[in-house]
Structure 1
Amino acid sequence: MRKSQQVHELIKNLALALGRAGDGSSDFDLNPDVQLPPSRKLRPAGVLIPIIAHPDGPRVILTKRSSALKHHPGQIAFPGGKVDEGDAGVVAAALREAHEEIGLPPNVVRVIGELPNHETVTGFQVTPVVAIVEQAFEVRPEPGEVAEVFTVPLAHVSDPANFVVQGRRWRGQRRYYYTVPYGPYYIWGASARMLRSLADRMTE
């Protein structure tokens, strides 16, 4: 399949998937005993799910966070972060952060749509922004935040059969979460949950 045809089919399939109805998600989805305060205030954030065309099929760009970071060191994450005062919204925040973290220029990104919001244990309401990277770019990891930039096949992370529920002790209780490992990369937590939301919509 020619690259242009692959991109056209990819955009069509993603648009259909993102147009399907569905609830938001949270880090507590698999832990129904957790009681969240109804008056809690969540901080808005945006992450980019950047997808690139590849001869072997589309691939998703992910990052490995620096081990020196205070929060979530060494974890696999999408480029993104909290909405700053100067951002026009969550999409602008996701694009800005992707530029800062991995050197992805906003002008080579075509935003396809958004997944429903995801609530994190750290008090953020994250909007996952799904986009196509239309041109090659020079990857420049931000040294203070990003240890590595890598890609995984979209086919792998959009197949619900590749997701596994695992658990660990957290704040004195057993906490369960999604994982979708790929090679040496242990993708889990919020990133895996957002990918599971995309996978569910792409396989409906």
Structure 2
Amino acid sequence: MAVDPEPSSDYDLNRDIALPADSLRAAGVLAAFHEDDGRLILTKRASGLRHHPGQIALPGGKVDPADADEIAAALREAREEVGLDPAQVDILGTLPPHRTVTGFAVTPVIGIIRGPFQPRPEPGEVEEAFALPFAHVADPSCYRIERRRWRGGWRSYYAAPFGPYYLWGATARILLGLARRIAA
């Protein structure tokens, strides 16, 4: 299986759409797997949010001025969104940034959650916190290409649905990059 040699993008499957010319804002997301069984913590964004309401996402967000880097942003956001204490996370590393249609360069931070952890969703941002099994996340064959109408044309994207959860778009593309690295 091929490993992504460069940063991924929401445009990977849509080469006819140009990346935004302006600078991208730095962000970090945390792909945190629990040491006991490898389950990955994800969120369903609150339906009242302005951006990406109701979508499945990794905990994370933009780098704030007080954050040292994307890793610090991902850990801070995971604490805010699901109550994960940064002291419980062993950082394994990062993947190349993923460029989004919304103007972010999102650095995926990979970590292991140590000890007991029960997610506590922050009601203003997170409708639900849940876990997906490692076997689903880490298997490249669980990801498929789908498409939908977007801005007057067709846009293709990756999806990896699991039960009631429709994992797609940037989150699916980031996790597919990880799955490809694991399988390599």
Question: Common fold, TM-score beyond 0.5?
Answer: yes
Q: What is the DSSP-based 3-state SS (H/G/I as helix, E as strand, rest coil) of the residue aligned with 2:72?
A: helix
Contact 2:44 2:127 in 1 (8 A): yes
The number of aligned residues is: 182
Correspondence for 1:31: 14
The Cα of 1:137 is off from its aligned counterpart by 2.6
In structure 2, what is the Cα distance between the partners aligned to 1:72 and 1:92?
A: 22
Q: 1:27 corresponds to which letter in structure 2?
A: D
Correspondence for 1:16: none
Correspondence for 1:128: 108
Q: What whole-Å deviation, never above 9, does each CA across 1:155-202 have from its counterpart, x for those lacking one?
A: 111111111100001111100000001111000000000000001111
Correspondence for 1:189: 169
The Cα of 1:21 is off from its aligned counterpart by 7.0
1:137 equivalent to 2:117? Answer yes
1:92 equivalent to 2:72? Answer yes
Unaligned runs of 5+ in 1: 1-19
Q: What whole-Å deviation, never above 9, does each CA across 1:62-112 have from its counterpart, x for those lacking one?
A: 000001111101000000000000000000000000000000000111000
1:53 equivalent to 2:35? Answer yes
Q: 1:28 corresponds to which letter in structure 2?
A: Y
Map of 1:8-87 to 2, 5 A cutoff?
22-37=5-20, 39-54=21-36, 57-87=37-67
Q: What is the DSSP-based 3-state SS (H/G/I as helix, E as strand, rest coil) of the residue aligned with 2:84?
A: coil
Q: What whole-Å deviation, never above 9, does each CA across 1:15-44 have from its counterpart, x for those lacking one?
A: xxxxx772110001000111225x421000
Unaligned runs of 5+ in 2: none
**Deviation above 4 Å: which 4+ runs of structure 1?**
none
In structure 2, what is the Cα distance between the partners aligned to 1:137 and 1:21?
A: 31
In structure 2, what is the Cα distance between the partners aligned to 1:102 and 1:191?
A: 17
Q: 2:17 corresponds to which letter in structure 1?
A: V
Q: Mark the structure with the bigger radius of gyration.
A: 1
In structure 1, what is the Cα distance between the partners aligned to 2:4 and 2:176?
A: 15
In structure 1, what is the Cα distance between the partners aligned to 2:132 and 2:69?
A: 28
In structure 2, what is the Cα distance between the partners aligned to 1:114 and 1:156?
A: 20
Q: Percent identity?
A: 57
Q: What is the DSSP-based 3-state SS (H/G/I as helix, E as strand, rest coil) of the residue aligned with 2:77?
A: helix
TM-score for both structures, normalised by structure 2? 0.95
- Corresponding residue to 1:159 among 134, 139, 145: 139
Correspondence for 2:181: 201
The structure whose residues are more often helix, as a share, is 1
- Corresponding residue to 1:149 among 106, 116, 129: 129
